[in-house]
Amino acid sequence: MPSRKTFSIESEVNMLRRWRKALGSIAVLAIIGAGSLVAQQPPDTILYNGKIITVDDPGVNGNLGTTAQAIAVREGKIVAVGANTAVRQLAGNSTKSYDLKGRTVIPALAATHDHPTDWDPLNPYIVKKVVSDDLIIERFLEDPPDQQLQKFPRVLDEAVQKAKPGQWIRISMLFGRGYRWGDEISGFLGRQINKQMLDMAAPNNPVIVRAGFVGMLANQKAMDAVKKFYGGEFEKFEQIDSPVTKQMEQRGYCAVCYREFEQDVMYPAATLREIYRLGLSWWAGYGLGMNGSNMYTAGAMTAYDSLDRKGEMAIRLPWTYFWPERKDFGLDPYFRAFVVSMKDRGSDYFWLNGAIPSDYGRNCTTLPGTSPEVKQSEGACRFDPDSPVGKLNTQVMYEFIKSGGRYAGAHMVGDKEIDYVLDIIERASKDAGMTPDQVRDKRHTWDHLGLNPRPDQIPRIKNLGMVMGGWDISIWEGDGQQFLKDYGEQALQWMIPRKSLLEAGIRQSIEIDRPLGYTDLTFFTVLHTAITRKDKDGVVITPTQSVSREVILKSATLSGAYYAEKEKILGSLETGKLADLTVLDRDYLTIPVDDIPNIRTIMTMVGGKIVHLVPSLAREFGIQPVGAQVELGGPASKW
């Protein structure tokens, strides 16, 4: 075939005429738009005889756009979408064509707030593959809570006996396949299992005990190793909101400092890199083509950067900067300018998507609470300008927004915190001289929406052009019943108010924010909760805030790409976009709503490459199954 330089205009026109006859004028225009090189060569892959939900309508609504039968891919991009006959006529001798036999295809799912850096080390399938006892003594407890507590001393003793002096020991206490034991197991740490116990049992080994979500207990030897790693910087760490503090050293317990212990100190760089490589592949097994995350440690950042540079990332990971140990960095004009200017830099697999320059929000709310104890448990707002902590956070956030930064990736629960954050964004943007359109182009975000926004905050959010996340998994876990108990019925109207945001024309994405790898939950569990607002006990929380399955699918695909500022190349199945798609084992649009959690992802393609393929479909296609969920013996290996 002639090269691009020698390919004549006449021959290109003749080819386009042939394609026009096969596809019709609209399809030809789409192919021309993808570039003349595409027109010279046949597709690499064609999927046909499917129900392809393109999500090519850009509106903030439940319109999923065109439904097609076939899709053609070349060099990682979509080159045609349409009817079977038209698309299949594009095939050449080297084109691989696969019959979908009526199966449903959707754009690859795009989660926007998760912590794969935290969850992959909790995945027994991955850790047991990567980590041997010669490196780190890793043990997983997966029994019911009482049995885990009973077994713990024996497991700890066995690990200590096995370990060489100075060798790390980690014991992970998981919440079960149904993910229902969190309260019980988390309650063990610092109480029945405490720092003194670990110090006595393992005086010569660093030991950490990890709960199956957040929460970690460490002995003194482990703490000493972390302090040694950070050296003099440890003394400069923020002592109020930093995960690693002197108070933590005394108690041995922290909520999220496992990040520093595991990612920067315990795991060698090559080991962490391999855990994350397999982790990205594992997430592809849930239908994900993208999974956004804050990047909390140097170790994690280095691992993903290495994977990206070597082309070993199965899915895309937009990341946000957050280093709570040193909020004062945000006061340095040079550092601030660096973070702002690096946004969107990177590859199509790993790029900086924004920052949390100082802090995220807490649970403080304007709701009165049903008791004084409820209000006391909220803690102080982190952006209250009248408190020392809030004053620093406000100053850093103000300077960041004024400098042109994008606020993204932030955990936000209480509505009172939202008042402060909106004030900062509006004031800093005005002081910077930004026009309304310039502010909207930033697409500032926050996530979770635990008790926010209030109805009166929604117009301000809309005016700023913000895009929201959504923590629907918290409904499934039962937070709605707890909010009802603590604050009354009003709280439930503010809990992830998807219907109110939709009616205001505000884009919303979908979050995961839980360690799915060792559970039977999937991303479709999250989508089902967003649609039905049912918790794990079947209780429906504020049905007036429910939205349709079509709306939620759009939130989980196109709006996720919009959140990541990649909607021009991701989020829908359109000519010219990157070929990220997912094949399902049943029809998302027509099955009973309560069957949605049972959907299985049987294939995921990212950038034109099949990164997850279950054995049954692989046999039909005549190719090998692929992906960590299959290769490591996860449930998908039996599908």
pLDDT tens string 609-618: 999 999 999 9
Is residue 198, in this structure, part of any structural domain at all?
Answer: yes
83 with 33, same domain?
yes
Q: What is the pTM of this model?
A: 0.93
Is residue 92, in this structure, part of any structural domain at all?
Answer: yes
Is residue 416, in this structure, part of any structural domain at all?
Answer: no
Q: For residue range 64-101, what is the model confidence (pLDDT) as tens digits? A: 999 999 999 999 999 999 999 999 999 999 999 999 99
160 with 64, same domain?
no
pLDDT at 631: 99
38 with 137, same domain?
no
pLDDT at 241: 67
CB neighbours of 283 closer than 8 A, spacing ≥ 6?
116, 291, 314, 315
Backbone angles phi, psi at 105, to 5 degrees: -120, 135
Is residue 197, in this structure, part of any structural domain at all?
Answer: yes
Residue at token pair 């038209």: 86
Cα angle 408, 410, 411 (rounded to 5 degrees) comes to 155
Q: Is the pLDDT of residue 26 over 60?
A: no
pLDDT at 25: 37
CA nearest neighbour of 222 among 201, 237, 205: 205
The percentage of the chain sitting over the pLDDT mark of 90, rounded to a whole number, equals 90
DSSP run (H or E) holding 354: strand 350-355
Q: For residue range 435-479, what is the model confidence (pLDDT) as tens digits? A: 999 999 999 999 999 999 999 999 999 999 999 999 999 999 999
CB neighbours of 201 closer than 8 A, spacing ≥ 6?
153, 156, 157, 160, 207
DSSP run (H or E) holding 187: helix 182-188
Output b/e per residue, 234-270; b: 16+ Cβ within 10 A: beebbeebbbbbeebbeebbbeebbbbbbbbbbbeee
Most confident range, picked from 229-243, 379-393, 588-602: 588-602
Q: Find the CATH number of the domain harbouring 623.
A: 2.30.40.10
3-state SS assignment for residue 379? coil
CB 140 within 8 A of CB 124: yes
159 with 84, same domain?
no
Backbone angles phi, psi at 217, to 5 degrees: -120, 135
Whether the upstream peptide bond of residue 124 has omega within 30° of 0, thus cis, is no
pLDDT at 81: 99
253 with 140, same domain?
yes
Show which of 242, 266, 290 is a domain's final residue.
266
59 with 96, same domain?
yes
CA distance 282 to 628: 5
Confidence band of 40 (pLDDT split at 50, 70, 90): low
Show which of 266, 299, 317 is a domain's final residue.
266
Show which of 218, 251, 266 is a domain's final residue.
266
CA distance 164 to 133: 10
pLDDT at 13: 34
CA distance 552 to 546: 10
Is residue 93, in this structure, part of any structural domain at all?
Answer: yes
23 with 142, same domain?
no
How far the first Cα of the chain sits from its last, in Å, is 41
CB 409 within 8 A of CB 322: yes
Cross-strand bridge partners of residue 106: 582
Number of domains in the chain: 2
Confidence band of 381 (pLDDT split at 50, 70, 90): very high
The residue range of the domain holding 138 is: 132-266
Pick the residue with more confidence: 244 or 573? 573
For the beta carbon of residue 141, count every other beta carbon within 10 angstroms: 19
3-class DSSP string for 214-266: CCEEECHHHHHHHHHHHHHHHHHCCCCCCCCCHHHHHHCEECCCHHHHHHHHH
For the segment 361-374, the average pLDDT, to the nearest whole number, is 96
Residue at token pair 């606020």: 407
CB 517 within 8 A of CB 125: yes
CB 606 within 8 A of CB 629: no
137 with 216, same domain?
yes
Q: For residue range 214-270, what is the model confidence (pLDDT) as tens digits? A: 999 999 999 999 999 999 988 888 766 677 777 788 899 999 999 999 999 999 999
Q: What is the mean pLDDT of the chain?
A: 94
CB 565 within 8 A of CB 352: no
221 with 142, same domain?
yes
Find the helix packing angle between 298-309 and 269-284, rounded to 10°.
70
The percentage of the chain sitting over the pLDDT mark of 70, rounded to a whole number, equals 93
Q: Is the pLDDT of residue 8 over 80?
A: no
What letter does residue 90 receive in the DSSP assignment? Answer: T
Pick the residue with more confidence: 16 or 115? 115
Is residue 234, in this structure, part of any structural domain at all?
Answer: yes
Q: Is the pLDDT of residue 23 over 80?
A: no
CA nearest neighbour of 357 among 328, 385, 382: 328
104 with 13, same domain?
yes
87 with 150, same domain?
no
Is 65 buried (19+), middle (13-18) or exposed (0-12) by CB count in 10 A?
Answer: middle
For the beta carbon of residue 364, count every other beta carbon within 10 angstroms: 23
pLDDT at 373: 96
225 with 154, same domain?
yes
pLDDT at 96: 99
Is residue 542, in this structure, part of any structural domain at all?
Answer: no
3-state SS assignment for residue 174? coil
Q: For residue range 166-201, what is the model confidence (pLDDT) as tens digits? A: 999 999 999 999 999 999 999 999 999 999 999 999
3-state SS assignment for residue 173? strand
3-state SS assignment for residue 171? strand
Is residue 90, in this structure, part of any structural domain at all?
Answer: yes
For the segment 534-560, the average pLDDT, to the nearest whole number, is 98
Pick the residue with more confidence: 410 or 26? 410
- CA dihedral (461, 463, 464, 468) positive or negative: positive
pLDDT at 7: 31
pLDDT at 167: 99
Pick the residue with more confidence: 232 or 434? 434
CA distance 242 to 246: 10
